[in-house]
Structure 1
C-alpha cells in the first residue's frame, strides 16, 4: 500500500485545492503517471503515482483544500482491491480495438510541470496511413509549449481517438496503431459539445480555491453573481479572471440568470475566422490580467551607444573565436540592468497581498518572438555570468524558444524582463509588465541623430529606453534613477569592471 501525498507547494504557498482527478478508484495506474491536479494561488501542480498498482481510495475529492503532506489517496496491489474495484457496466462494452493484441495505444505524454492539459493542434497522419516508429504523428499545443508525439512502433494508424482541437490530458489514449495491419481504420469521433453549467449549482461556488481567493483579496471581486464552470458549479480561476475583464454586471452584483452568450458575428467573403491557439489565449489573458492588476506607468530616457558599439566592433571577432558565440548588445544591457537592480531593489521586487518580497537574485526574462507568439524564457543568476556566459545563455534560450523545446521551468521565476523591439525596427514603445514582476525594460532601434557634444553638433547612434513599472511599489524617482543607472552603465561600460 502506497500513500499519495500532497507535495511541497512552493515558497510561501500554504495550501491548494483539488482541481481534477484523472483516475477513479479501481483504475490501474503506473508509477509516475499523473493522478491529480492541484491548484494554488500561484500555479497548478500535478501529482504522480508513487508506484504501480490500483487506485484503491480517494481521500480528498475535487474542490477540497489540502496542505503539504495531506494523504490524497492510496495505491494498492491488484490482489488487495479485487473486491473493491467497481464492477464493469453492462451497457459499456469494451472498444473492439482494445481486444486485439496487435494494437498499441498512443498516449498523451507528460507535458511539463503544472501543465494539466493540452489541445490537439494537428495530426500529421490520417487514419489508415502507414507509420514508422518514431515518426511524428501529432502535435499537442499547451498554453506554454508545443509537444510532438511520435509513433511507438511501425504499423498502420488504425484509429484516431482525439480529433483536431480536442482537449487531452497526460496519459490519455489519443490513437491506436495496428502492428499487423489487421484492423480497419476508424475515423475520430466528433468532440461532444461542452455542457452548460447549471445555474442551480452556483451555491457550491461559495467554496473558493486559493487561486480565486487571491484574486478576490487583491481586486475586491464580488463572486456572488459569477456562474462557476468548475465541478458542481465552483468558480475557477478562469471564471474570476473573465469577470474582471468584463466587470458589469456579474462582478458587482448578484445576478439570478447569466446573460446569454453573444453569438459570433458572421464572417464576410474576404475574411477568415481562425481559433486562437492556447498560447495566444494565455498571452491575451496574462496581458489583460497585468493591465487590470498593476498600476502601470512608463518612463523614458535615451542612451548614446557609441562606446558599446566601438567595443563590439573592436573585439567581436576575437570574442567569437575565443568563446564560440557572437558578441551582441544584449549582454551589455543585461549587465547594466543587474547593476541598476542592485541599486534600486524595489524594481526587483514582487507584491504578495499586502507584503513586498525583495529578491536577492537576478533572473532576467528575455522576451523572444516566435511564429506561435511571444515567450519569455528566464536566464538565471545573471549577476554571476560573464558577457560570454550571458550571450551563450540567451542564444540557447532563443533557439529553444523557436524550436518549441522550452520546459515550463525555463519560463517561470523571472525577477525582471528585457524586451528588444529594436530588432523589428521599433523606435519607441511602452512595454507591458510580465506579472508578478514590477519592471520591464524596452530596448529600441539604434538611430543616428544629431546631438550636442562639448558644444558641437555631432551624429551619434542613439537608442530610446523605456521602463514600464508598477507604481504601487516603485516610485517615479526610483524609476527615473533606474533608467539613469542603465544609461550610465552603457555609456561607460568600465563601470562593470570597477563595480561602481
Structure 2
C-alpha cells in the first residue's frame, strides 16, 4: 500500500485560494477515482472536488471554512501499489507541496496587460524560489515543525519568526492566512513576551455584550467570500455616486403589451431587467471607458462587454456573467438571465460563469428600492443600480403636466478611472436608450 496526497485543484483562471465548505467523505471511507470527496467554495461558487485516486481515506488535512491556497494538500489516501516505506502525514503532505507551474495567461488590453487579474502566475524565477522553499519545508519537518511552502515563502519575504505565530489550522498548524494576518507588533521580545503572558493571566475575560439570548454562528463559505470582496472593494476603490431619473413610459407599454405572448412563445417571463441591460450595453459601445478596471496602478479597457448580473437567493447574492452581452437581443438577454438565475438557485453555477465580468447591472428595484448606493464588484469600475418603476406627475415641455412611469438609475464609479462628466454622459445615454424601446421589433 502507498499513501497519496490529494491537493486543492485549480478552480479558475483568477482563483488563488478557496475553502473546504463540506467534506463528502471521512477517514476510513472507500472512494473511487473521480468520486466527489469535498465541496470547495471560492468567489461565491461551490465546486465538487473529485478524488485523484481510488483507495481508503486516511486523513483530512484542513478544517472546514479555512482559506487555503490552490494546490495545498487537503487529504491523504491509501492506495494499492508497490510496498513503499510507510510515509507519515507530514512526508505525504510535503511531496505534494510544490505548486504546478502554469503558463502565463495573456489578456488583451488597451493601456497595459492586467497580469494580476489571472492570479499570481509564477515566473521561472519565482518557480525556482518555490523549489527552494520546498527544500526548507523538508528541513523544518525534520525538526518537528511542518510549514507549507506558501507559509514559508510569505514568512521569509516579511521577515516573520514563525515560532511567534499562533496557528489556527488543524492541530495548531500555521496557515497562510495566519501569516498574512500577523503583524510585527504581535512579536514582542522574549522578556516582554513572558511579562505579557503573566499579565494575561490576571486579566479578566470581557463581559458579553448581551445577556446571552443572541445566536452566534460562523458565516458559511459563500458569505465569507461576499464579505471579503465587499471589504476589498470599499478599502481599495474610491467610490463616487450619482443618480438620474428616466421616463420609461413607452418601455412599460411595450413590455405590458407583449409579456403574455412572450411567456407563451419563449417559456419564460419578460421582465424589465433585460431592457435595462440592453440599454447599458448600447451605452458602453459609445463610452468604452466605463468598461474598465484598475489593478496595480494600471488601467485595462476591455474589448468584450461582459455584464455581471446580480441574482439573489434566500441566503446569498450571486453575480454570474453574461459574456459578450452586445451579441444578444433583449430576448437573448432575458434567456441568459433566466438560465444563470436558475443555476444560482439550483447551486449549479460553475466558477467560469462567475468570472470575467466588466461592469455590473443590479436590479434593486425588484424588491421595491427607489434609491441605493451599490458597492462596486471588485475590480470593475462601475455598478449600476436599477430601481423600481413608479408612476408620478411630471412636467412637460409645453409647460403642462402628465402622468409618467419614472425610474431612478443609481451609478457607483471608481473615481480613479472615471470622473463625474464621463459618468454623467454615460447615464444620459442609458436614459436616452430606454426611451427608444417602443416597438415589438425592439424585443427580438
Q: What is the Cα deviation at residue 397 of structure 1?
A: 0.5
Q: Give the alignment partner of residue 474 of structure 1, picking from 405, 418, 426.
A: 418
Q: Residues of 1 paired with 2:243 and 2:249: CA distance?
A: 19
SS of the equivalent of 1:281 reads helix
> Which residue in 2 is equivalent to 1:22?
none
Q: Residues of 1 paired with 2:368 and 2:395: CA distance?
A: 25
Q: Residues of 2 paired with 1:38 and 1:145: CA distance?
A: 10
User: Structure 1, residues 271-296: CA drift from partner, whole Å, max 9, x if none?
Assistant: 11111112111211111110111111
Q: Residues of 1 paired with 2:242 and 2:26: CA distance?
A: 54
1:330 paired with 2:273, answer: yes
Question: 1:386–1:163: structure 2 CA closer, same or farther, 3 Å change rule?
Answer: same
Q: Which structure has more RCO (C-alpha within 8 Å, separation ≥ 6)? A: 2
User: Structure 1, residues 228-266: CA drift from partner, whole Å, max 9, x if none?
Assistant: 7899x99957865x68xxxxxx5xx86643999997863
TM-score, scaled to structure 2: 0.63
CA contact (8 A) 1:359 1:415 kept: yes
CA contact (8 A) 2:311 2:318 kept: yes
Q: Residues of 1 paired with 2:319 and 2:328: CA distance?
A: 19
> Which residue in 1 is equivalent to 2:430?
486
SS of the equivalent of 1:172 reads strand
> Which residue in 2 is equivalent to 1:435?
378
Q: Residues of 2 paired with 1:161 and 1:234: CA distance?
A: 16
CA contact (8 A) 1:229 1:236 kept: no
Question: 1:494–1:119: structure 2 CA closer, same or farther, 3 Å change rule?
Answer: same
Q: Which moved more, 1:413-422 or 1:338-347?
A: 338-347
> Which residue in 2 is equivalent to 1:391?
334
Q: Residues of 2 paired with 1:382 and 1:323: CA distance?
A: 19
Question: 1:166–1:352: structure 2 CA closer, same or farther, 3 Å change rule?
Answer: closer
Q: What is the Cα deviation at residue 37 of structure 1?
A: 6.5
Q: What is the Cα deviation at residue 309 of structure 1?
A: 0.7
Q: Give the alignment partner of residue 155 of structure 2, picking from 202, 205, 209.
A: 205
CA contact (8 A) 2:309 2:362 kept: yes
> Which residue in 2 is equivalent to 1:99?
none
Long gaps (5+) in structure 1: 1-25, 45-114, 128-135, 151-157, 175-194, 209-222, 244-249
Q: What is the Cα deviation at residue 268 of structure 1?
A: 2.8
Q: What is the Cα deviation at residue 478 of structure 1?
A: 0.3
1:119 paired with 2:21, answer: yes
Question: 1:404–1:428: structure 2 CA closer, same or farther, 3 Å change rule?
Answer: same
Q: Residues of 2 paired with 1:482 and 1:357: CA distance?
A: 18
Question: 1:280–1:116: structure 2 CA closer, same or farther, 3 Å change rule?
Answer: closer
Q: What is the Cα deviation at residue 418 of structure 1?
A: 0.8
Structure with the largest fraction of strand: 1
> Which residue in 2 is equivalent to 1:348?
291
Question: 1:257–1:407: structure 2 CA closer, same or farther, 3 Å change rule?
Answer: farther
Q: Give the alignment partner of residue 392 of structure 2, picking from 435, 449, 452.
A: 449
Question: 1:496–1:477: structure 2 CA closer, same or farther, 3 Å change rule?
Answer: farther
> Which residue in 1 is equivalent to 2:224?
281
User: Structure 1, residues 283-319: CA drift from partner, whole Å, max 9, x if none?
Assistant: 1111111011111101100111211111111222332
> Which residue in 2 is equivalent to 1:4?
none
Q: Give the alignment partner of residue 424 of structure 1, picking from 354, 367, 370.
A: 367
Q: What is the Cα deviation at residue 116 of structure 1?
A: 4.5
1:304 paired with 2:231, answer: no
What are the residue-to-residue correspondences of 1:239-250 with 2, within 5 Å? 250=183
Long gaps (5+) in structure 2: 28-35, 51-56, 78-144
> Which residue in 1 is equivalent to 2:75?
172
Q: Residues of 2 paired with 1:384 and 1:474: CA distance?
A: 26
Question: 1:480–1:488: structure 2 CA closer, same or farther, 3 Å change rule?
Answer: same
What are the residue-to-residue correspondences of 1:218-229 with 2, within 5 Å? none
1:257 paired with 2:188, answer: yes
Q: Which moved more, 1:473-482 or 1:451-460?
A: 451-460
Q: What is the Cα deviation at residue 171 of structure 1?
A: 7.0
Q: What is the Cα deviation at residue 323 of structure 1?
A: 2.8
Q: Residues of 1 paired with 2:437 and 2:327: CA distance?
A: 17
What are the residue-to-residue correspondences of 1:184-195 with 2, within 5 Å? none
> Which residue in 2 is equivalent to 1:211?
none
TM-score, scaled to structure 1: 0.57
CA contact (8 A) 2:343 2:349 kept: yes
Question: 1:172–1:204: structure 2 CA closer, same or farther, 3 Å change rule?
Answer: closer
Q: Give the alignment partner of residue 410 of structure 1, picking from 353, 377, 380.
A: 353
SS of the equivalent of 2:394 reads strand
1:145 paired with 2:45, answer: yes
